[in-house]
Structure 1
Amino acid sequence: MKRFAFALWLSAISLNAYADSANCHQKANTPESIAATMDQALQLKQQLNSQSDPVVILVRQGQDMSSRHLTWSHAGYAMRQPNGDWRVYHNLNTCEPLNQRSIYKVCMSFWLMTW
C-alpha cells in the first residue's frame, strides 16, 4: 500500500510536466515553470530519500495518452548513487535526427522537464 501511495503521489506532482513526443518544438520555459519543476524535483528527492530501496521505477504523465489507452507518457528508473544523489535513467526520443532514441542519465529536475 505504501508503494501505491508513493506512485499516486508521484503522479500527482508530475501532472503539469510538459511532454509532446509528436511535436519537436520545445515549449518555452518561464521562470515560474522552472521554479515549479525544481520544487517538484525537491519533493521527489525528499520522497526518494525516505525510501530504503536503491532503485525505483518512476513514471509521469506529460501528455494525454488516453487515445492510446495509456496513462503514462514517460518512464524511467532512478538509482541512488554512492554519494546519496539520485540519477534518473530514461529513454528519450530526440528530434534531431528525427526519432533517434537514446538512453539518458539525468538529474530529477531534467527528467521532469524533458519534452
Structure 2
Amino acid sequence: MKRLLLIACLVLAAPAWAGRSCEENPMPVDDAVKSMDLAQKTFAALDASGAQVALLSRVGQDLSKYGLTYSHMGIVVRDHPEGRWTVVHELNECGTASSNLYNEGLGNFFMSGLFRYEAEIVVPNADTQARLAQLVASRTARRLHEPQYNMLSYAFSTRYQNSNQWVLETYAAASAPAGQVETRAEAQAWLKKAGFEPITLRIRSGTRLGARMFRANVAFDDHPFDRRMTGHIDTITTDSIVRFARNLDPATKVTTVR
C-alpha cells in the first residue's frame, strides 16, 4: 500500500493554469522505468532533506558544449494541494512562442525524455522556503510569469521569459524583503542589486539566424544590440541560479541524485 501511495504521488499531475498538451510518441519501457526510478530516488532524497520547498533540476538535453549540465528547473513543494512533492514550473507549449505554469508530480517531471538520469536538489534556508511556499500559491507567481516564451531570453528584460527565469524571479521575490518584489521588473532590479550574473553563451550569427527562422521559441531581439552582434547571449540557466543562491546564502544545500 505504501508503494502504491508513493507511485500516486510521483505520477499525479494537473495544469496550474490551462495549457495545450503535445502529442508525443510512446516512451520506450526502459526509459520509463529509469525515469520512475529517478523520481523515487528524488522523492526519498527530498524527504530525507527535511525541506518544505526546494529547487529541482533535470537533464533534459545535452548542454555540455556550453559547459552546462542541467537544462530545466522547477520549484518542488512538499505539502502541495496536488500531492506531496509537487513540482511547480513553467513549460513551453509544444515548441511555440508561449508558455504556462504547471503542477506536476515527480514522475511526470522526469518522464520527459531525459538525456541523463540525474537530478539536482537545491535547498534554501527555512525562511526562503516558507516564502516560496506562499508565493507559488499566490497571485504573485502568476504576475511573475510571462507567457511569451523565449528559450534564450535576456536576463534583464521583461519582454520574454524562459522556464528557469520564472524560477529565478520567484526566488528573488522570496529572498527580497517582504513586499519589495511583486513584478518582474522589481525582481530584475533586485537581482541586479543583489549581484546576480547570467550565464553568457557564445552563439554565432549563423546559428542565431537559423534558430530564429526555424524555431518559434527562440528569439534574440530582447538582448542588447552590441552583445548580440558579438555573439554574447546572456541568459538564465540552472547553473546561474545555483551559483547565485549559494553566493546569496552560503548555507544553501545542493544535492545530486543519480
Q: Scaled by the length of structure 2, what TM-score is found?
A: 0.32
**Superposed, which structure 2 residues align to 1:89-100 within 5 Å?**
89-95=88-94, 98-100=96-98
- Mapped to 2, the partners of 1:40 and 1:71 lie a distance apart of 16
Q: 1:99 to 1:70 in 2, by over 3 A?
A: farther
Shift of 1:70: 3.6
* One-letter code aligned to 1:36: K
> Does structure 1 retain, via aligned residues, the 8 Å contact 2:57–2:70?
yes
What is the DSSP-based 3-state SS (H/G/I as helix, E as strand, rest coil) of the residue aligned with 1:50? helix
Cα root mean square deviation, aligned: 2.5
Task: Report the equivalent of 1:40.
Answer: 38
Structure scoring higher RCO (CA < 8 A, sep ≥ 6) equals 1
Shift of 1:36: 1.2
What is the DSSP-based 3-state SS (H/G/I as helix, E as strand, rest coil) of the residue aligned with 2:49? coil
Percent of aligned positions that are identical: 30
Task: Report the equivalent of 1:17.
Answer: none
- Mapped to 1, the partners of 2:63 and 2:23 lie a distance apart of 19
| Bigger-Rg structure (1/2) | 2
Q: Choose from 72, 75, 84 the match for 2:73.
A: 75
Structure with greater helix share of residues: 2
Residue 48 (structure 2) pairs with residue 50 (structure 1): yes
- Mapped to 2, the partners of 1:101 and 1:27 lie a distance apart of 21
* One-letter code aligned to 1:30: P
Shift of 1:76: 0.6
Shift of 1:90: 1.1
Give the gaps of 5 or more residues in structure 2.
Answer: 1-21, 114-258
- Mapped to 2, the partners of 1:42 and 1:36 lie a distance apart of 10
